[in-house]
Structure 1
C-alpha cells in the first residue's frame, strides 16, 4: 500500500463508529458506476408506498421465523 493509504487508514482508526460507517459508505459508493439521476427519488417513492401499505393494512406479511426457515433451507 502507498504511504498515503496507510496514513488514511491510521486516521480512520480514531474516528467514531458512525464516522467510520459514513466514510465506508462514501468509499463503497465511489466504486459504483453512476446510476443516473432519479434513482434516490425512485427508491424514496418505493419505500413510501410500502410503508403506506403496511400502515393501511393492505400489505401481507409473513412471520420472520417462516422466512428465515425458508432461507436456511434454500441456502444451507
Structure 2
C-alpha cells in the first residue's frame, strides 16, 4: 500500500537539508525534464548551491532577507 502524501511529506521534512534539496531537485526535474526553462533553473540552483558550499556566498536567515527586501521597496 502507498504511503499517504502527508505522511511522506512529514518524513521528508525530517531529513537533513542536503537530502531535502536532492529530493526537491528530483521532483522539479520530474515535471519538465527536457524544457529549456527547467534546465536554466536547475543550472542556476546548482550554481547558487555551489557558491554557498564554497563559502563564496553566505546564506541569510529568511526573516533578515525579508527585512532587506522590504527596506529596498519602501
User: Normalising by the residue count of structure 1, what TM-score does the alignment of the two structures yield?
Assistant: 0.39
Structure with higher RCO (Cα < 8 A, 6+ apart): 2
Which structure has the bigger radius of gyration? Answer: 1
